[in-house]
């Protein structure tokens, strides 16, 4: 007999009630510290809020398409207003990241070249993060520097290129100059070619970087990137979600599943919280980071949440929200 019930889940001073499905009618028990299955604040976000855009981009298929049928279905489960989603999509189309064919739920949004570039950077960042966590080392001790001078008449290209550099974790050294410990030259030249600014920049590398008399690699990293703030964000994420993987595993062992009504907002909320850390993280090689570095533990928690959550999901054929997480996790040993 299949039994639908409401389960109270505790974590710290928060209480969440979710709907689970159990294969027997007499297996009534709490699910532990699983939290944020249905965060109360999702319905208040607007088309300009990062969560809306995060959800949209999280629904992109591997070919860069976003289906209106999935978009509005997931939005409804998350309590996000239809007009909020429509406004966000209009903005993404206006920004040149997507094109649209069709209307409403029948619409198909296709990533443009710029949109594909944005999605690719996000995917590569996740792959890089988990690869560095697994290796624990790998820096060749070279600093890569890009310098550019793009006139005001090409402001849109300049802004787009600067944003691309930042998305790759580049640190601002002085006007028109950024540095990274990663070998990013190929990616920068590809983006410069797309923006038609190849002749406006130069790239070079050095193993002898000196900033205001500081040459020690870890001290330079601490100067150039807000590592303390990144670490604090990761620690907050860990404090909130550390008990969730075990809670999900316990649910699976009891034969329980999570309904779409709770899986979708839960998946969106943990992505929002993780992105608050990840978007600021320059993903420096482990050799440049303080030890222990909480980013590794946070990503491990996210990976376990995704694995156990997807397996506990009642509708496994439903929309793949945040496929990029699962693709990155699939590369883990």
Of 114, 122, 119, 126, nearest to 63 by C-alpha is 119
Grade residue 333 by pLDDT with cuts at 50, 70 and 90: low
| pLDDT above 90 coverage of the chain, percent | 68
Q: Quick check: 5 pLDDT over 90? A: no
User: Mean pLDDT throughout 176-184?
Assistant: 96
User: Mean pLDDT throughout 17-39?
Assistant: 39
Q: Quick check: 228 pLDDT over 90? A: yes
Q: Quick check: 14 pLDDT over 50? A: no
Burial of 206 (0-12, 13-18, 19+ CB in 10 A): exposed
Tokens of 310: 């997807």
Lookup result for tokens 């999900």: 248
pLDDT of residue 324: 83
Residues contacting 245, CB < 8 A, separation 6+: 301, 304, 305, 308
pLDDT of residue 50: 58
| pLDDT above 70 coverage of the chain, percent | 84
* Prediction pTM value: 0.82
Q: Quick check: 16 pLDDT over 50? A: no
pLDDT of residue 277: 95
Grade residue 155 by pLDDT with cuts at 50, 70 and 90: very high
pLDDT of residue 261: 86
Over residues 46-76, the pLDDT tens digits come to: 434 458 899 999 999 999 999 999 999 999 9
Q: What is the CA radius of gyration of the chain?
A: 22
Phi, psi of 24, deg, nearest 5:
-130, 155
Q: Quick check: 317 pLDDT over 80? A: yes
Over residues 69-107, the pLDDT tens digits come to: 999 999 998 889 999 999 999 999 999 999 999 999 999
Q: Which of 3-7, 124-128, 178-182 has the highest mean pLDDT?
A: 178-182
Over residues 158-172, the pLDDT tens digits come to: 999 999 999 999 999
Q: Report d(CA 121, CA 332) in Å as an integer.
A: 19
- The helix (run of H) or strand (run of E) holding residue 111 is strand 108-111
User: Mean pLDDT throughout 199-219?
Assistant: 95
pLDDT of residue 218: 96
Q: Report d(CA 306, CA 312) in Å as an integer.
A: 10
Cis peptide before 292 (omega within 30 of 0): yes
User: Mean pLDDT throughout 192-213?
Assistant: 94
| DSSP 8-state assignment for residue 207 | S
Tokens of 131: 């690869």
pLDDT of residue 31: 37
Q: Quick check: 28 pLDDT over 50? A: no
Residues contacting 165, CB < 8 A, separation 6+: 146, 178, 188
Q: Average pLDDT of the chain?
A: 85
Q: Report d(CA 192, CA 28) in Å as an integer.
A: 59
Q: Report d(CA 29, CA 35) in Å as an integer.
A: 16
pLDDT of residue 284: 96
The full set of domains in the chain, from first to last, is 3-40+226-330 (no CATH), 142-206 (3.30.70.240)
Grade residue 310 by pLDDT with cuts at 50, 70 and 90: confident
Helix axes 323-330, 294-312, angle to 10 degrees: 110
């Amino acid at each position: 007999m299949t039994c639908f019930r409401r389960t109270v889940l505790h974590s710290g001073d928060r209480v969440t009630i979710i709907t689970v499905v159990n294969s027997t009618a007499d297996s009534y028990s709490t699910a532990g510290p699983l939290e944020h299955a249905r965060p109360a604040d999702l319905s208040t976000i607007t088309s300009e809020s990062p969560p809306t855009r995060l959800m949209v981009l999280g629904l992109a298929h591997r070919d860069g398409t976003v289906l209106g049928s999935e978009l509005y279905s997931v939005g409804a489960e998350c309590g996000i207003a239809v007009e909020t989603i429509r406004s966000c999509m209009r903005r993404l189309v206006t920004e040149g990241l997507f094109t649209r064919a069709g209307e409403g739920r029948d619409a198909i949004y296709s990533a443009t070249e710029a949109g594909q570039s944005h999605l690719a950077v996000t995917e590569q960042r996740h792959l890089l993060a988990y690869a560095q966590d697994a290796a624990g080392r790998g820096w060749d001790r070279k600093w890569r520097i890009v310098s550019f001078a793009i006139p005001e008449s090409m402001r849109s290209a300049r802004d787009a290129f600067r944003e691309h550099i930042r998305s790759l974790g580049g640190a601002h050294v002085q006007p028109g100059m950024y540095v990274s410990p990663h070998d990013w030259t190929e990616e920068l030249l590809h983006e410069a070619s797309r923006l038609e600014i190849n002749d406006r920049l130069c790239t070079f590398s050095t193993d002898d970087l000196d900033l205001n008399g500081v040459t020690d690699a870890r001290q330079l990293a601490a100067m150039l990137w807000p590592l303390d703030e990144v670490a604090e964000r990761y620690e907050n994420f860990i404090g909130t979600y550390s008990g969730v993987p075990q809670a999900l595993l316990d649910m699976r062992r009891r034969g329980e599943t999570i309904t779409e009504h709770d899986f979708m907002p839960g998946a969106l909320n943990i992505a929002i919280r993780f992105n608050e850390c990840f978007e600021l993280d320059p993903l420096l090689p482990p050799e440049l980071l303080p030890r222990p570095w909480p980013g590794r533990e946070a990503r491990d928690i996210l990976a376990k949440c995704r694995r156990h959550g997807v397996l506990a999901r009642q509708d496994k054929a439903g929309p793949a929200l945040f496929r990029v997480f699962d693709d990155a996790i699939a590369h883990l040993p």
